[in-house]
A and B are shown apart, each in its own frame.
Chain A
């Protein structure tokens, strides 16, 4: 690893202040992704600000739902009684990710901040616009290896079928974030200019011309907590993850479903997909179609067709154009117990 300076902070204020001081400074939480990126020299920090001692690991009931501290470990959230009982989709998604060891280390905030696992991003000898932006500069990141996108005409089996650009077709790798976007979560952040709330669906972004930016955080901002509103989805939730191994692999396709059912009629529904886009991919049009409809295979098929509108394959990932709708139908059947 390249050498870096190390600062340990114990208050969010000191953390925000430390991050704002100089460029090349990164927050260090669980480190499961960042330390790996530093070892591979994809990220070359000047300074790490260790935020592990921040008092932000509380999981608590609020008047409107549940608040999860940004430093809560993935395993602690997945195993929490309130999460298992009221937000089982989140618990299922978390347990589908990584390994038991990594879930003990990884935090909620860190999970949201994790980078893509695109092999071109990870290999500094290969072209990548996310790692090495075309227009390098103070706000645009430092160049690190060649620019371009190796994936668009290269090895793209794991890559996006929605929302890609001519600069980047990487996917966001998180399982947890699929559940959080489906459950209408809100992200509470604190920064040099004060506190603000970001709807989870606006937290991550599509690559466009600036794939180096994964999210909409402003410089110096720290994730404090995530709020999930109360819902009626606990009895009919399912997270389906399709991957190359039975466990401990990133999703080829994942589907998060949360349904409020009355008899066989879908009163309300949330649908989101992972492994398909640069951000957790919410299927709002398919949700809209299914509201008020019966839980039948015919309706699920139509919803899946609607969800696949605008999907585009890049060669090696063309199989996702079939796997994705099939997974949507499968997950809907399981969640509505009509399988």
Chain B
């Protein structure tokens, strides 16, 4: 049983895309690039672009209502895909280690840290970023409430705070200030706008607007 048959219609980076690429390139075929050799090429800094071309995998993911057909390296995080490839820079890179919450987006309606999410794992999922939540002309009630209550100073954590705040209400965890503080603890604000952020969330929750 060869590997292709073994995994059936599942996906494997040493599978058809690599073989097709090798077939198309006689120069590369001469190098007989195994995955390990491609990895070694990157480790040795020999030809990162060459190795990257080989490691591209197909990905289909719905971003803010648009189906994206992409080709990416398996090591790309959802955060880097959004910012670097799709130029959706509303989602911020803070710590890049899942500690600050600046990168919070929704995947299939659930708030997650996009910095710790490999983009490949979002195949077939619906991703919503701050750009998909509202616009300058049509702001989301939570965006309006953050402005009204001065829920930020520098603004860097704000997209993550707002994505998390919307999810907090949807999950049913915004019933009082204590509960909001607990369920918003994954979003750090170095400017210390916490009190106003809690006010903004309470306002939206009590206002009963559809979030």
Contacts and interface: CB of A to CB of B under 8 A. Distances in A.
Interface of A: 1-10, 14, 17-18, 28, 31-32, 35-36, 38-40, 46-48, 50, 52, 73, 75, 98-102, 104-105, 245-248
Contacts, number: 124
Contact of B98 (A32, A52, A100, A247): A32
A3 B43 CA distance: 8
B164 A100 contact: yes
A31 B119 CA distance: 11
A101 B113 contact: yes
A98 B186 contact: yes
Interface residues of B, number: 48
A9 B7 contact: yes
Given A3-B39, A101-B113, A247-B182, A10 B55 contact: no
Given A8-B120, A31-B118, A99-B101, A1 B182 contact: no
Contacts of B6: 14, 17
Contact of B123 (A7, A8, A38, A73): A8
Contacts of A73: 110
Interface in B88-129: 96-98, 101, 104, 110-113, 116-118, 120-121, 123
Contact of A2 (B7, B43, B111, B164): B43
Nearest to A75: B110
B77 A9 contact: no
Contact of B10 (A2, A4, A8, A38): A8
Contact of B77 (A35, A46, A101): A35
A49 to B, nearest CB: 9
A4 B75 contact: yes
User: Interface majority SS on B: helix, strand, loop or mixed?
Assistant: mixed
A71 to B, nearest CB: 12
Given A7-B11, A32-B98, A35-B118, A102 B113 contact: yes
A141 B146 CA distance: 50
B157 interface: no
Contacts of A14: 6-8, 10
Contacts of A1: 75
A48 B173 CA distance: 34
B74 A248 contact: no
B14 interface: yes
B167 interface: yes
B116 A100 contact: no
Contacts of B168: 100
B8, B36, B118, B182 interface centre (most CB from chain A within 10 Å) = B118
Contacts of B36: 46
A100 B186 contact: yes
Given A50-B121, A101-B186, A105-B113, A5 B14 contact: yes
Contacts of B11: 6-8
B33 interface: no
Contacts of A40: 97
Nearest to B97: A36
A9 B173 CA distance: 34
Contacts of B74: 3-6, 48
Interface in B157-190: 164, 167-168, 171, 173, 181-187
B51 interface: yes
A9 B121 CA distance: 11
A246 B184 CA distance: 12
Contacts of A52: 121
B13 interface: yes
B192 interface: no
B155 interface: no
Contacts of B47: none
Contacts of B42: 2-3
Given A7-B7, A10-B10, A32 B116 contact: yes
Contacts of B121: 28, 31, 50, 52
Nearest to B184: A100
Interface string B19-57: 000000000000000011011001100000001000101
A5 B74 CA distance: 7
Contacts of B10: 7-10, 14
A56 B35 CA distance: 30
A75 to B, nearest CB: 8
Contacts of A17: 6
A39 B76 CA distance: 11
Contacts of B171: 100
Nearest to A248: B185
B84 interface: no
A14, A98, A101, A248 interface centre (most CB from chain B within 10 Å) = A101
A27 B36 CA distance: 19
A100 B111 contact: yes
B13, B51, B96, B101 interface centre (most CB from chain A within 10 Å) = B13
